[in-house]
Amino acid sequence: MRLKRILTSVFSLSVLTLHTGIAQHKDYPIQPVPFTHVHVHDNFWAPKMEVNARVTIPTTLAKSKEHGRIDNFLRAANLKEGDQLTQFTFDDTDIYKVIEGASYAMQIQKNSALDTYIDSLITIIGAAQEKDGYLFTFRTINPAKPHEWVGSKRWEKEEELSHELYNSGHLFEAAVAHYQATGKKSLLNIAIKNADLLVHDFGYGKEEKYPGHQVVEIGLARLYRVTGKKEYLDLAKFFLDVRGPKGGKKGDQYNQAHKRVIDQNEAVGHAVRATYMYTAMADIAALTGDKSYLQAIDNIWDDVVDKKMYITGGIGATGNGEAFGAPYQLPNMSAYAETCASIANVYWNNRMFLLHGDSKYIDVLERTLYNGLLSGVSLSGDHFFYPNPLASMGQHQRGEWFSCACCISNMTRFLPSVPGYVYAQNNNDLYVNLFMSSSSDISLPAGKINVKQTTNYPWNGKIELQVDPQKNKDFTLKIRIPGWAQQKPVPGNLYQFVTNTAAPITLTVNGQPAKYDLDKGYAVLKRKWKKGDNITLDLPMETEKVVAHEQVKDDKYRFTFQRGPLVYCLEGPDNQDNVVQNITVSKTAPVEVVYEAGLLNGINVLKTKGVSTKRQVNSEALIKTEQDVKAIPYYAWANRGATDMMVWVPYEESAAKPKPAPTVASTSKVSSSIGTPKSLISLADQYDPVDSKDANYPYFHWWPKKNTTEFVQYDFPTEHQVSESKVYWFDDGPWGGCRIPASYKLYYKKGEAWVPVKVKNADGIAKDKYNTLTFEPVKTTAFKMEVQLPTEFATGIHEWIVK
């Protein structure tokens, strides 16, 4: 009954006049050709979008239900007993994002069952909305006992962690997408009611607060575009302008509140928050004509591209605050490079292009899209990366679900929109930005045109475009010549190709070499086009070796392979002994490209020769072997179980990690007081850290335990005599949660009993070095280290050698 009453009120809202046609207000000078007009039927993206629709969207809906996301709405609507909440105050957004994704997917392929299911979700969302438009299940379920991040009053902790406005932002994006896909206003009306409440509550002289996690600015801009309600645009601008220190309160870098947005020049803090904000600044600049944001985002863009971006396009180097690191701080194994940050990087670079019309932004967009973003989802569409590391010793694998599921639901909404990045237009200029076989219906002021692309990109650089205007018409084609085809992997000098291959780019029109000017990275073809005109672009797709700026210490003496837009990596299953960290390849090694149809859904692999090194037990000398080396596209790694992987291949032996010698420790079964997590392999990986806080390579830890007695244990394959232990502690003070232990003791197994060793010499407990302890020799089959954690901290171990 209650549901019915609420529903009536939702649907009886006065219906606004919606602006549906071409933008009637100021907006980006360049407009994307909507994804609904670009029908992609290639062998690369079309199958990925199909898997997203067939597997990822239904799985994400099912997992959201299983993990209580829908129960939150049911409880807020009083349709389910109890006041339990899920873990995070942004959990409602998973439902919004998957509705957005489902809406896009339904525009590509009708799906009445999905449509009906989404309608039922929208009914529940509407029922969970409070009378005045407030929609945030984490308060509504039990306002007297809100989640600890939420605060006792609405908006009280918005600048910190309540995420009330973040939820609204994703609601707005979903509502616009759903309306555009189905023509139904059910979710849109819910969004409008919520947005009207925000307009009522926020502003100068009202709640003068900025969003703790940006995205509502983008959502309001979208809602403004469809409703024409200027209050939404004004509010989005307010949310940007109010950010910064105020009233004697110093803002945080973490959420970009350390300065006014127009005074910011560097990318700092939480990478997703930041990049959504830069995206919003571009939106608001475009929609208002206010140029004051442009200086800031132009400078920040340079900072990211010159100093803070992985070769995969990933951004946000450190897990510490999910944040941008210092300039050139780009660790590989501990790279954070969150999938959401890659998605945000695509959004932002697309906006920068729409503002400036320069192909350098599409170069960054394409790099991110084909590498650090696509790696976020498995080929099967049901496993996901949150961080996207550039090296692994098997400790990274995609998961089916995360308690913080942002990257998963974000992927569902991103993938169907990919065709929307292929073309853009500005009056009678048609931009061709990305290459994928497709047929597109495009309306220019000059008239309607069908454009067909035929290509085997990204495996091959030949692209054929057939232009079919309804009538012979003058217009300009601006075809992007990618930076990678002009010896420039990225704008700026963060990465460079090792050799200048500089093969010529050929562009023909109807079989004749075309004369063209290169303008902002585009080949400009201006003429009277007629039906059947054919353009062929041949991009020289060479296998390049890329090196990083000398200040990126993690990539020193290393290169990575790139071919076309794809960055490559070495992965265990394709290489000898299933390991790759021990491989060195010369910078001049010839590389062969081979298409393998049966591997990882069909990929071009790279084949070359290299040298691998192994340690020996009783000698410092390394055993070297020449071997075949094979590389696969980075996006396709981690689809064959836990594997060794590296993107940056050593060309100097000193940068490689020799395969461990079969020591007592490395051949033992390792266990601990917390079971056998994957990180236990780090104890005997013979990888010495730089110092105790070095988090770039695997380490084992007991966090968040403290003040307890724990252990690690080696079970030897056979009886061994041992007389020495060397342990290198993990200690990430002063910020992290691990410190050197209060004390530790060693035991050996005698029969069924654990007997303490008789210590001869112990050099104490200290960080940043091995702590050696010698004892009277014992013959045993198992050895144990008991560790007393400090009162207030956990402890971790980099390496534990037993001799």
Binding-site ranges for Zn ion (CB under 5 A) = 338, 340, 406-407
Spatial distance between the Cα atoms of 49 and 421, rounded to a whole number of angstroms? 14
Q: Which is nearer to Zn ion, 300 or 407 (CB)?
A: 407
Provide, rounded to whole angstroms, the least separation between the CB of residue 394 and Zn ion. 23
Closest by CA to 322, choosing from 261, 378, 379, 388, is 388
Q: Which is nearer to Zn ion, 409 or 425 (CB)?
A: 409
Task: Give the count of alpha carbons within 13 A of 725, CB side only.
Answer: 29
Phi/psi at 374 (nearest 5 deg)?
-65, -30
| Radius of gyration for the alpha carbons in the chain, expressed in angstroms and rounded | 28
Closest by CA to 701, choosing from 796, 799, 800, is 796
Q: Which is nearer to Zn ion, 371 or 581 (CB)?
A: 371
Provide, rounded to whole angstroms, the least separation between the CB of residue 168 and Zn ion. 18
End-to-end CA distance of the chain: 74
Spatial distance between the Cα atoms of 300 and 349, rounded to a whole number of angstroms? 12
Calculate the alpha carbon distances from 319 to 315, 512, 770 in Å: 11, 53, 26
Q: Which is nearer to Zn ion, 345 or 692 (CB)?
A: 345
Provide, rounded to whole angstroms, the least separation between the CB of residue 408 and Zn ion. 8
Burial class (CB in 10 A: 0-12, 13-18, 19+), 511: exposed
Q: Which is nearer to Zn ion, 266 or 338 (CB)?
A: 338
Q: Which is nearer to Zn ion, 92 or 786 (CB)?
A: 92
H-assigned helices in 109-248: 112-128, 137-140, 164-182, 186-201, 216-227, 230-241
Provide, rounded to whole angstroms, the least separation between the CB of residue 561 and Zn ion. 28
Provide, rounded to whole angstroms, the least separation between the CB of residue 668 and Zn ion. 37
Closest by CA to 136, choosing from 119, 117, 155, 122, is 155
Provide, rounded to whole angstroms, the least separation between the CB of residue 338 and Zn ion. 5
Nearby residues of 330 by Cβ (< 8 Å), 6 or more positions away:
308, 310, 317, 548, 552, 554, 555
Task: Give the count of alpha carbons within 13 A of 41, CB side only.
Answer: 9
Provide, rounded to whole angstroms, the least separation between the CB of residue 410 and Zn ion. 6
Spatial distance between the Cα atoms of 304 and 301, rounded to a whole number of angstroms? 5
Q: What per-residue string of b and e applies to 376-410 under the rule 16 or more CB within 10 Å gives b? A: bbbbebbbbbbbbbbbbbbbbebeebeeebbbbbb
Q: Which is nearer to Zn ion, 407 or 548 (CB)?
A: 407
Task: Give the count of alpha carbons within 13 A of 622, CB side only.
Answer: 16
Q: Which is nearer to Zn ion, 314 or 491 (CB)?
A: 314
Q: Which is nearer to Zn ion, 406 or 797 (CB)?
A: 406
Spatial distance between the Cα atoms of 714 and 672, rounded to a whole number of angstroms? 9
Q: What per-residue string of b and e applies to 462-474 under the rule 16 or more CB within 10 Å gives b? A: ebebebbbeeebe
Phi/psi at 346 (nearest 5 deg)?
-65, -45
Q: Which is nearer to Zn ion, 211 or 492 (CB)?
A: 211
Provide, rounded to whole angstroms, the least separation between the CB of residue 29 and Zn ion. 31
Q: Which is nearer to Zn ion, 340 or 684 (CB)?
A: 340
Closest by CA to 198, choosing from 222, 167, 227, 232, is 232
Provide, rounded to whole angstroms, the least separation between the CB of residue 176 and Zn ion. 21
Spatial distance between the Cα atoms of 346 and 396, rounded to a whole number of angstroms? 24
Provide, rounded to whole angstroms, the least separation between the CB of residue 170 and Zn ion. 12
Provide, rounded to whole angstroms, the least separation between the CB of residue 406 and Zn ion. 3
Provide, rounded to whole angstroms, the least separation between the CB of residue 613 and Zn ion. 37
> Residue with structure tokens 């942004």?
90
Q: Which is nearer to Zn ion, 414 or 435 (CB)?
A: 414
Provide, rounded to whole angstroms, the least separation between the CB of residue 211 and Zn ion. 17
Number of H helices, E strands in the chain: 16, 32
Provide, rounded to whole angstroms, the least separation between the CB of residue 405 and Zn ion. 8
Q: Which is nearer to Zn ion, 173 or 542 (CB)?
A: 173
Q: What per-residue string of b and e applies to 226-265 under the rule 16 or more CB within 10 Å gives b? A: bbbbebbbbbbbbbbbbbbeeeeeebbbbbbbbbbbbebe
Q: Which is nearer to Zn ion, 340 or 546 (CB)?
A: 340
Whether cis (ω within 30° of 0) applies to the bond prior to 756 is: no
Q: Which is nearer to Zn ion, 139 or 383 (CB)?
A: 383
Task: Give the count of alpha carbons within 13 A of 183, CB side only.
Answer: 0
Whether cis (ω within 30° of 0) applies to the bond prior to 704 is: yes
HEC readout, 546-609: EEECCCCHHHCCEEEEEECCEEEEEEHHHCHHHCCCCEECCCCCCCEEEEECCCCCCEEEEEEE
- In this structure, are residues 351 and 28 in contact, taking their beta carbons and an 8 Å threshold? yes
Provide, rounded to whole angstroms, the least separation between the CB of residue 409 and Zn ion. 9
Provide, rounded to whole angstroms, the least separation between the CB of residue 247 and Zn ion. 32
The residue number with the shortest CB distance to Zn ion is 340
Q: Which is nearer to Zn ion, 397 or 536 (CB)?
A: 397
Closest by CA to 606, choosing from 537, 538, 541, 540, is 541
